[in-house]
Amino acid sequence: MIIYQNSAIGFRNAVDNNQIVPDIETQYISKFGRRVGQGEKRAWNNSLKFMETVIRKSAVPDDCGVLIEYNIPATSKRIDFIISGQDESNNNNFVIIELKQWDKAEATEKEDIVTAYVGGRVREIAHPSYQALSYKRYISDMNEAVYTNNLTPYACAYLHNYVKKNPEPLTLPQYSYILSGTPIFFSEDNTKLESFIHKYVGKGNGLDILYQIENGKIKPSKKFIEYVADMFDGNAVYTLLDEQKLAYENIITYATTAPEKRTIIINGSPGTGKSVVAMNAFVALLKRGKNLKFIAPNASFRTAMVSMLSNNKKHSKQRLNILFAGSGQFYNALNDEFDVLIVDEAHRLKGKGAYMYKGENQIEDIIKASRVNVFFIDDNQRIRPDDIGTIKAVKEVATKYGSEVVEVKLEAQFRCSGAEGFLNWVDHNFQIKDTANFDGWDVSSFEFQIVDSPNILLDKIKEKNTQGFKARILAGFAWQWTAEKNGNANAEVSDVDISEHNFKMPWNSRSNSYSWAIDDKKANQIGCVHTSQGLEFDYVGVIIGNDLKYNPSKMELYSSYNDYFDTTGKKGLKSKPEELTSLVKNIYKVLLSRGMKGCYVYCRDKNLQTFLKSRLQP
């Protein structure tokens, strides 16, 4: 979606007449249905005056095309400025320019990340040249008009208020990879920027190029499809078994042969292979040229998936990110804009009022935006009151939009070394549902132990990591999490404090929590459900805090509201103890089911510890 478009001379005249901001605002309100904040209008007014000067002094023809605030299709991202035209060889080009108001920034050790004063405080943010490069790659890979009609994108960043320093943090060696093809221009570099623009669009004739960009269908290019598909070929992890195959074939059949709108619900508990089916279907449909996205509400899961598929190669991760999305960005998508949307961990979808979400209902957003939508759900993995992704809710929305519902149940367990009995034991003894495995399972298939102190738990996890296994400690929200502004950006504060055992460890890093599960340097931090849900480890050590206790006289588990510190997770539940207990038990089920080879548990509540030990066979 283009908020504002004009010729180069039309843009210059609008700036000269102080009409550019009102013109953009009018189009913004018309297309987004909401007003523009004063801060954004000030940014437009400031930056676009600088851009008018650059365009004028670059001496590009009046019939170059100008796009402002180009909303990248299927994302919530907007490109600040694009100018289009031809070069001396009559190639059709366009230049993406990322504009920043910054006057200073600092480098970090994190890949392509810097710090700058944004939104009222200093924040970590992507390097401006990385932002411009990522936009260029997205359009190159996904806009059919660009890769079919040989439109060539170029990109740069322009920090018009920023006086370059010596040494300059934004041009340090760790950023050389992105700067090599996507230069950054500072306040003293106007002449260089003018030459950069003139080089690629100096012959003008750019208005038709704008039309092609705006009307290009969002569809992955053949080259990009082959690139992604190669990452999956020969990967034995993605072999389908039993009813996984049935679920997969349902998805492929309805997505490729049936013209009607379909909603496919894949229902399965932890370890039944929901993500395996999802990724197989995703790649198969990508190879068939479908316009699709893989949606994962859990950012940690997305980060781990992209890193695994790309083998942690920087370039591969950048390109793969195009196809993976969070669940909150489809609120303004067009009807049936996508052929297929695949949603893993759909039980974590949100409704109105959720953090950073601007829409009303994420289930509705997804069903409305796609002809075929696939929801991988486990109702017993809802962990917060604002998790609305239940099977019932999905069916209701599907009916509203005339989408036929297809259901597949996954039964067989493939996690926990095939110890389906262990997960059944958890269900039964955590009083989630009755099962036949009330007193144990085949212990040879899965290692499980209830230990008497968190220090023993830590020693076991350290030992497994030393032996080459992937092992982590997890805990429920039974301790406060010190804020980043209070000196806890990177797990500096040992919040998980069990004083009776002289045990202290920090929660996972706040500033980079999404990589906790895949970064070996973070093995000395305790993860939570948000950094582990959907992921797998060889071994896990789970600390059950005082947020879950056992009442011997009533013979039931219950949650302690005052010992549960997830503010969002317990919002509105002070007078609803049964609902709170159900959600907290779901959290611990998720944590206990993350290990594929084994799990160790420490319970801070002695009654719970005694009870769980009594439920195991000698």
536-572 tens-digit pLDDT: 888 999 999 999 999 999 999 999 999 999 999 999 9
Spell out the alpha helix ranges (H) of 467-565. none
Q: Which H or E run contains 456?
A: helix 454-466
Quick one: pLDDT at residue 438?
57
DSSP state letter for 34: S
Quick one: pLDDT at residue 314?
60
Residues 6 or more apart whose Cβ sits within 8 Å of residue 83: 8, 55, 60, 64, 65, 66, 67, 94, 95, 97, 197, 201, 206
Whole-angstrom Cα distance, residue 80 to residue 524? 41
Give yes or no for residue 318 having a pLDDT over 80.
no
Counting runs of H as helices and runs of E as strands, what totals does the chain give?
Answer: 19, 24
CATH number at residue 329: 3.40.50.300
Give yes or no for residue 372 having a pLDDT over 50.
yes
Tokens of 194: 């003018």
What's the sign of the alpha-carbon dihedral 295, 298, 299, 305? negative
3-state secondary structure of 544: strand
Quick one: pLDDT at residue 300?
78
Quick one: pLDDT at residue 342?
96
Domain shared by 327 and 272, yes or no = yes
Residue with tokens 């700058």: 116
The percent of residues in the chain predicted with pLDDT above 90, rounded, is 55
Count the alpha carbons within 13 Å of 159 in the hemisphere toward its beta carbon. 19
CA-closest candidate to residue 408, choices 196, 248, 537, 284: 248
Rounded to an integer, what is the distance from CA 609 to the centroid of its chain?
36
Quick one: pLDDT at residue 242?
65
Quick one: pLDDT at residue 417?
54
Quick one: pLDDT at residue 241?
63
Whole-angstrom Cα distance, residue 422 to residue 428? 10
Tokens of 2: 């283009």
Tokens of 363: 């289930």
Domain shared by 420 and 477, yes or no = yes
Whole-angstrom Cα distance, residue 535 to residue 528? 12
- For the ranges 168-172, 235-239, 508-512, the lowest mean pLDDT is seen at 235-239
Spell out the alpha helix ranges (H) of 218-340. 222-232, 243-256, 274-287, 299-310, 314-320
Domain shared by 235 and 338, yes or no = yes
Q: What is the pLDDT of residues 225-266, one digit of tens each?
A: 777 767 666 444 455 666 788 888 889 999 998 789 999 999
Report the pLDDT averaged over residues 3-15.
94
Report the pLDDT averaged over residues 255-279.
86
Whole-angstrom Cα distance, residue 23 to residue 508? 46
Tokens of 449: 């132990």
The percent of residues in the chain predicted with pLDDT above 70, rounded, is 92
Quick one: pLDDT at residue 322?
81
Count the alpha carbons within 13 Å of 305 in the hemisphere toward its beta carbon. 29
Domain end (from 359, 389, 410): 410
Directed axis angle between helix 274-287 and helix 243-256, to 10°?
30
Whole-angstrom Cα distance, residue 514 to residue 524? 15
Q: What pLDDT band is residue 221 in, cutting at 50, 70 and 90?
A: confident
Domain shared by 245 and 202, yes or no = no
Q: What pLDDT band is residue 399 in, cutting at 50, 70 and 90?
A: very high
> Are 344 and 295 in contact, with CB atoms under 8 Å apart?
yes
Domain end (from 185, 215, 245): 215
Domain end (from 388, 410, 432): 410
Q: What pLDDT band is residue 460 in, cutting at 50, 70 and 90?
A: very high
Quick one: pLDDT at residue 237?
44
Report the pLDDT averaged over residues 14-31.
88
Q: What is the pLDDT of residues 106-162, one digit of tens each?
A: 998 877 889 998 878 888 888 999 999 989 988 888 888 898 999 999 999 999 999
The better pLDDT of the pair 38, 442 is held by: 38
Tokens of 248: 């997969």
Whole-angstrom Cα distance, residue 478 to residue 498? 11
For all residues of the chain together, what is the average pLDDT? 88
Residue with tokens 């801070």: 604
Q: What pLDDT band is residue 411 in, cutting at 50, 70 and 90?
A: confident
Q: What is the pLDDT of residues 195-205, one digit of tens each?
A: 999 999 999 99
Report the pLDDT averaged over residues 197-214.
94
Domain shared by 436 and 422, yes or no = yes
Domain shared by 449 and 359, yes or no = no
3-state secondary structure of 482: coil
Tokens of 370: 């796609």
Residue at 434: amino acid letter: D
Domain shared by 529 and 606, yes or no = yes
Give φ, ψ of 66 to 5 degrees: -130, 125
Domain shared by 510 and 608, yes or no = yes
Quick one: pLDDT at residue 121?
84
CA-closest candidate to residue 496, choices 474, 519, 518: 474
Quick one: pLDDT at residue 233?
60
CATH number at residue 487: 3.40.50
DSSP state letter for 46: H
Domain shared by 190 and 229, yes or no = no
Q: What is the pLDDT of residues 421-445, one digit of tens each?
A: 788 888 889 998 876 555 556 667 7
Tokens of 286: 């990508």
Give yes or no for residue 500 having a pLDDT over 90.
yes
Whole-angstrom Cα distance, residue 557 to residue 547? 10
Whole-angstrom Cα distance, residue 169 to residue 166? 8
Residue with tokens 């943010």: 125
Give yes or no for residue 279 having a pLDDT over 70.
yes
Residues 6 or more apart whose Cβ sits within 8 Å of residue 27: 3, 4
Report the pLDDT averaged over residues 54-58.
97
Domain shared by 275 and 207, yes or no = no
Whole-angstrom Cα distance, residue 386 to residue 426? 24
Directed axis angle between helix 20-32 and helix 38-58, to 10°?
130
CA-closest candidate to residue 288, choices 252, 235, 324: 252
Which strands, in side-by-side order, build the sheet including 2-7?
Answer: 2-7, 65-71, 78-86, 92-100, 152-159, 184-185
Domain shared by 494 and 567, yes or no = yes
- For the ranges 323-337, 339-353, 468-482, 511-525, the lowest mean pLDDT is seen at 511-525
Query: What are the distances in angstroms from CA 197 to CA 9, 86, 154?
Result: 15, 11, 9
Quick one: pLDDT at residue 439?
59
Quick one: pLDDT at residue 231?
64
CA-closest candidate to residue 344, choices 378, 312, 394: 378
Domain shared by 422 and 403, yes or no = no
Range of the domain at 299: 222-410
Q: What pLDDT band is residue 273 in, cutting at 50, 70 and 90?
A: confident
Number of domains in the chain: 3
Where do the DSSP E strands lie in 366-505? 370-377, 404-410, 447-450, 471-475, 496-498, 503-505
Could you tell me the pTM of the whole model? 0.71
Report the pLDDT averaged over residues 270-289.
84
Residue at 588: amino acid letter: Y
> Are 597 and 539 in contact, with CB atoms under 8 Å apart?
yes
Give yes or no for residue 414 having a pLDDT over 70.
no
Q: What pLDDT band is residue 313 in, cutting at 50, 70 and 90?
A: low
The better pLDDT of the pair 141, 73 is held by: 141
Quick one: pLDDT at residue 36?
77
